[in-house]
Amino acid sequence: MIRGLLCVALSLILVTRASTASAASIVTEWLDQALPYAQEVAWEPTVGSRFFAILQTAIYDTWTAYDPIAVGVVSGTALKGQGGAENEANKREAISHAAFTVLRTFAPQHRRALIERMEELGYDPNAHTPPAEIGRRAAEAVLADCRDDGASEASNFADTTGYQPRTSGPPDAWRPIESFGRRQLPTTPQWSRVMPFSLARADEFRPIPPPAPGSAEWSRQIDVLIKTSGALTDTEKAEAEYWGIFGMAPAPELIEMTKFVSDTNDLRLDDDVKL
């Protein structure tokens, strides 16, 4: 009986994996390729979000060349009608060249693996077909647009503000602590100066500042936090721990969730690009 149930369970797992694999579009395939690179070269939450924003914008702008309505984020309508016929094969090829171009730029140490991936997909990385040219042009335009966006990419995202954390004074700012025998360092303090890639301006949805240290509201919020933390149910604790499940920055976690939504809804290329 138990052996039979195990066989049924194993069969269901294999069927599920097979259906998921067959449902994947070229968009989610390139996300799978990009995720380990992001964890390696863009693990900080800020740099990681930029990494995926540039990759996905390049893919989106490439796709807009084949869509009668969509307008590229960077390219506008400049690529319209230049990528060959509007069909699945051309879109796949163009998107692959766009993703390849971005990832080769951000993770040059994986150039050989990226070339092999392109060849596995049936594409020549140096091809000059209309779809290949469109993908490269879209990616290069997005990369150029973000190159001087204030992130300090050329200096490996080093701080450009001269920021120094406080070591004393009111407890209303971040302070480094000793972690594993080393003093913590701030993550990209210059990010407030980075050109937004989806907001109209950097402070568009910025919340109001926290209450002043020692104020009545400051004390009230601390009291709420302590009482709430002390009364968490097992379910609520599990919900909190969920956010560390992938062990990486928020951007890769959101990409994993995006892939899940894509698989669950059996999305194809066009909808995956828009998602």
Contacts of 136 (CB under 8 A, 6+ apart): 97, 98, 101
Of all residues in the chain, the percent with pLDDT exceeding 90 is 66
- What does the pLDDT read at residue 59? 98
pLDDT greater than 80 at residue 12: no
Contact 49, 56 (CB under 8 A): no
Segment holding 260, helix H or strand E: helix 250-264
Residue boundaries of the structural domains of the chain: 24-159+248-274, 211-242
pLDDT greater than 70 at residue 100: yes
- What does the pLDDT read at residue 248? 56
- What does the pLDDT read at residue 8? 35
Using one digit for the tens of pLDDT, what is the confidence trace for 172-223? 788 888 888 888 888 899 998 999 888 888 889 989 988 998 899 999 999 9
pLDDT greater than 90 at residue 129: yes
Average pLDDT over residues 97-115: 97
Q: Which residue has tokens 């909808």?
A: 271
- What does the pLDDT read at residue 243? 66
Using one digit for the tens of pLDDT, what is the confidence trace for 135-151? 999 999 999 999 999 99
What is the architecture, at CATH level 2, of domain 24-159+248-274? Answer: Up-down Bundle (1.20)
- What does the pLDDT read at residue 73? 95
Of 161, 56, 162, 159, give the one whose Cα is nearest residue 106. 56
Average pLDDT over residues 76-96: 95
- Going through 98-223 in order, the beta strands assigned E by DSSP cover 178-179, 182-183
